[in-house]
Each structure stands twice: as structure tokens, then as C-alpha cells.
Amino acid sequence: MTSLLPLGRGNERTVALLHRLWREHLIHHKGRMVLIAVLTLIMSATTAIYPLVINHAFNMFTRHDARILYQLPVLVVIVTGVKAAAQYFQNVQVQQAVLLVIRELQSRMFAHLTRADLARLEREAPAQLASHFTTDAATIREALTKTVNGVADVVTVIGLIASMIYMNWLLSLIAAAMYPIAILPIERIGRRIRRASGGMQERVGETATLLNESFAQARTVRAYRLEMQEVKRADAAFGALYKSLLRISKNRSRVEPVLEVLGGAAVAGIIGFEGWRASVNDHTLGDFTGFVAALLIASRPLRALGSLNAALQEGLAGMVRVFAIIDEEPTIVDAPDAARLPRGEGHVVFDRVRFVYPDGRVGLENLSFEARPGTTVALVGPSGGGKSTALALIPRLHDATAGSVRIDGMDVRQVTLSSLRDAIAYVGQDALLFDDTVAANIAMGHPGASQAAIEAAAEAAAAAGFINDLPLGYETRVGTNGQRLSGGQRQRVALARALLRNPRILLLDEATSALDTESEAAVQEALTRLRRGRTTIVIAHRLSTVRDADLVVALSDGKAEEAGTHADLMAHEGLYARLVRSQSLIAA
């Protein structure tokens, strides 16, 4: 991959980004790019012919040439018709090429993020991540469209300059002397826009995050009468976003007036020069009409080229963020000599495991325990004790900093991720489903499973009854996060998914702690079936779960304070006994 240059090296960075975009994306559409180039040449050539047609018409008027009644109208219709057709097909092809590139960038970003480390995803709120696919993509799309059209404008201006030189080379020199003056201010404005664009994207992400959070917490907001507080928070975010957008708008708005003034100055200078020549030397106007027409026609593409820099700088800022995501290398990957997880019965061993978060916090310290095949190990302890961290190390959502986690004799870091995760199923407290059908959500446990296997898993998870009562049965869509189902129904669909996977190791973040009594009874029945013959490691909040466990590990501050059966630990009168007596473990 091409490494991105520091932001301060503006021109080098711009060239590097555009070269990378060409090499990795645009070059794959060479045929379409050639077609765009041909259509652009036709469009630009017909535009450049306009001043010559106008000049020819003026001369015919002057000579009282009768052919002006039929020759000139036909010529104008042909020129405008050819230009209109070329312009239409060029615009369609440009948009198609740009949208294909944007789709490819979005696909690359999404594919990368699906394989990225969990720690990386947790650094940004979901709404901020989503802004890379929407806001950044929009700025890149606008920049690419204007860049391709900018090439057309350059070719058009070159054609018009050729026409002007053909008609009057001296006036062409006077006009050409004016526009280079605009280069310096336009470049400075572009640099400001790129800096402002970075701040604007941050404000967009922050605003999207706030809105997502506020709407998700709608019940809490109303229950605690926090409406005014949320309105103030939103107003502050909207205000910051307004200032960022206004800063960009002000900078972009400066480009057009600069070019307008310079264009007017060029026309005024030429009119003044020609007027002086006519008054002093009895000079005739000659090709003056066609020349001024060419100059006026050139003002539009010249102004477009001026605003191109502004759009390009915004697009480059978005491109930097997109490529930064694509270039991030995940740390949790298959080792070079990784082997498939060997056959086994799910023997899990934590051997003096230490885990340190990226910010330096210690999550686990010297944690050791053993989950023998077919047994249940319960992890208990106060909040922040390291239970979830320990569970996350088994499927390698994180990697241990020191020590090892072994499954059936193999360090999880020495086996392929695919074989490791195929051997594991996870069911959490909040069974968030995908906005798809019930059958599709269950089938995620074993893609390609037959309908009969899906229904058998649902039956085993005590979910078949309510699924058959749904309007479309297994083909009923569950809504965003499964919101069309109750908490107990979502949990049973998640359990059916785990059953269909038929894992050797089951990880449970107490799947019944947030359910009502009736739902809990159904889920517990399904869990009993699911745990049978499998190694189960569960984060326990219910005393009934702990009593049934073969081993209880009490964690505090990332360390195993004690381990044993429920009866042993109650007799020990340590951390576990205190949790039970303080009702930190809920009786059930």
C-alpha cells in the first residue's frame, strides 16, 4: 500500500492520493475512461467552434450575405445537437464511473472493518463509523465528478484559446495575462477548505452519535424529564456543525468573486485596448465580436476550474480518512504457521493470563483456571472484575498480553481464526438480531443450513411455538435489532442460532438476567439442552446458574480471588460468599 504523506505537504499529498485512486480503482475502468475522454473531446470541440460560428455570422451580416438565411441556422443546429448528445452521454458515463469507484471504496472499507480488531471498532461510535460511508463518500463523489468534468473544462478552455489565437493573437496575450493572478488566492483558499473539511467531518460524526444516543434512550429521556437537557445538547452540537459548515461555505464562496472580477477585468481591458486602437489608428473591429464571445464562453469553465480546487480539497480530506481505515492493519490475524483447531471436546485452559488494554488499564492479571470437556464454569464477581474480558479472549476478540488460552491443547493464537470461531457459540444478555427474517437470523449459526435443520434448532430452543404464531412464521422480519420480538423471544432465536452451530464450547453472558419469569423459564429450558455435552463458560448473575456450575471462579480487579464449587466457596467465606450475601448474585 502507498503510505499517506503528512498533511503539511499539500501538493505531494494531493498527487499521491490521486495516483493511488487511479492505480487502485480508476484503472479498472479503462474502457469507460476512454469513452469519457472521446465524448469530452467532442463536447469541448463543439464549444470551441461557437466563437468561430459567431464571428462568421457577424462577417456575413456585414457583407449582407444571403446565405445567412439557411447556411448559418443549419450549422448552429448541427453544432448544438452534437454538443448536447456528447454532453448527455459524457455526464452519464462520468456519474457511472464515479459511483462505481465510490461503491468499491465503501465495499473495501466495510470488508476491512468486519475483520478489524474489536478494540479498533470500540474507538469510534457506530454513527461516526457510518459517516465514513455517507458523508466522506459524498465529498469524494463530488470531488471525483468535478475533477473529471474539470478535465473537460480544461480541454474546452484550450479549444477556446486556440479559437481566440486564430482570430486575434494579440488580444489573446492580453487575456492570458490576467488569469494567472488568480492562482495564488485560489490555492490558499483550497488549503483552508481542506483543514475546515476535517473539522466538519468530526462535527458530523459527533452530531450523528448524539442523535443516535438520544433516540436510543428515548424512554430514559422521558422518564427522567431530560427533554430540555437533550435539546440543549443537540443545540450545542448543531451550533458547532453550523460553524464548521459556514467556515467551508465562506471559503468556497470566495472563489467565484475572484474569478468574476478577473474575467470582467479581462473583458474590460480588451474592450479598452480595441477602443484605443480604433480611435488612434482608425482600426477596424475585425474578429473582435467572435473573440469577446470566446472570452465570455470561456468564463464558465474557468470559474468551474476555480471551484474545482475547493471541491477537490474537501474530497481529498475525505479520501485521507477512507484510505486511513483501509490501511489499518488488524493485530488479531492468523499466525503464519497457524493450523486448524484439532478435533476435541472443548477442553479450555487459562494459563497465567494477563491482559492490558491499549490505554494501559490492566484487564486481567495472572488468571488461571480449567474448564474440562462437558462441564460448566461460572465467572462471578463485581462489575469491572474482568469477566467479559476473560470471555472475549477465548474466540480471540482480544489477544492475551501474557500467558495463554488453550483449547484442546492448542494456544488459540496458533490456530486459524475460522476453525477457532467455528467451534464456539456466544449468547449474550442482549440478543440483538439483524433486520432480516427469523429463519435467516437462526441460519447465521450455520450458513447454508436446511429449513428442516433451522426448525429443529428452533424447536430445541423452545422457540418454534411463538415463531409459528408470527404472521409469516419463519419468514417474518424481526425489525431493527429484533425490536418486533419480545426480549424472551429474541433470546430464544439467539439460542436456536447457537444450537444450529453445534459448538464444542458455549460462551454465555447470563442469557436470562433481563427476562421476565415466564420468558426465563422457557430460555432456561433451552439453555439446559444447549449446555448438554458441551463445555460452557458463563458470566453468572443468577445464583441458580452458579449452583449448577461444576466450577465457580470469583474475579476481582482482573484476578481470580478464589475458585471451587458453590458449596466449597460458601464454606470458604471469601469474595463469593460476600457476593451471595450482599445479593450481588440474584437468587432464582
Whole-number Å distance between alpha carbons of 382 and 379: 10
Residue-wise pLDDT tens digits, 187-226: 666 666 656 655 666 777 677 777 777 766 666 666 656 6
On whether both 187 and 316 belong to a single domain, the answer is yes
* Last residue in a domain, options 283, 307, 327: 327
Q: Is residue 564 part of a domain?
A: yes
Residue 146 sits in the same domain as residue 69: yes
Tell whether 322 is covered by a domain.
Answer: yes
Q: Does residue 449 lie in a domain region?
A: no
Residue 461 falls within a domain, yes or no? Answer: no
**Residues 277 and 388 occupy one common structural domain:** no
Contact 234, 221 (CB under 8 A): no
Q: Are residues 235 and 95 in the same domain?
A: yes
User: How many domains does the structure of the chain reveal?
Assistant: 2
Q: Is residue 101 part of a domain?
A: yes
CATH code for the domain in which residue 547 is found? 3.40.50.300
Mean pLDDT across the chain, nearest whole number? 79
pLDDT at residue 7 tops 50: no
Weakest-pLDDT range from 307-311, 313-317, 346-350: 307-311
**CA angle 585–586–587, rounded 5-degree value:** 120
Q: Is 70 exceeded by the pLDDT of residue 411?
A: yes
The pLDDT assigned to 199 comes to 65
Is there a domain that residue 486 lies in? no
Judge whether residue 576 has pLDDT over 50: yes
Same domain, residue pair 281 and 404: no
Report the percent of the chain where pLDDT is more than 70: 73
Domain boundary among 327, 345, 366: 327
The answer on 317 and 376 residing in a single domain is no
Residue 23 lies in a domain: yes
* Whole-Å CA distances, 260 to 164, 203, 256, 506: 20, 32, 6, 70
pLDDT at position 542: 74
Q: What is the pLDDT of residues 9-61, one digit of tens each?
A: 456 677 888 888 888 888 888 889 899 989 988 988 888 787 777 776 666 66
CA distance 135 to 315: 10
| Domain extent at residue 400 | 334-423+505-514+534-588
Convert 47-59 to b/e letters by CB count within 10 Å (16 or more is b). bbbbbbbbbbbbe
- Looking at the fold, whether 289 and 218 belong to one and the same domain comes out as yes
Q: Are residues 53 and 71 in the same domain?
A: yes
Question: Where a domain ends, among 304, 327, 350?
Answer: 327
Cα–Cα distance for residue pair 412/353, rounded to 1 Å: 12
Task: Place 405 in a pLDDT band, splitting at 50, 70 and 90.
Answer: very high
For 419, 442, 443, 476, the CA distances from 455, given in Å and listed in that order, are 25, 9, 10, 14
In this structure, the answer to whether residues 347 and 319 fall within a common structural domain is no
Is there a single domain that holds both residue 565 and residue 546?
yes
**Same domain (yes/no): 265, 285:** yes
119-174 per-position pLDDT tens digit: 787 777 777 788 788 888 888 888 888 888 777 777 877 777 777 777 766 666 66
Asked whether residue 386 is assigned to any structural domain, the reply reads yes
Domain harbouring 311, CATH code: 1.20.1560.10
Predicted pLDDT of residue 255: 62
Q: How confident is the model at residue 579 (pLDDT cuts 50, 70, 90)?
A: confident
Are 72 and 121 found together in one domain? yes
Helix, coil or strand: residue 355: strand
Residue 151 or 295, more confident: 151
Interatomic CA distance for residues 297 and 6, integer angstroms: 39
- Measured CA to CA, the distance from residue 118 to residue 229 in angstroms comes to 32
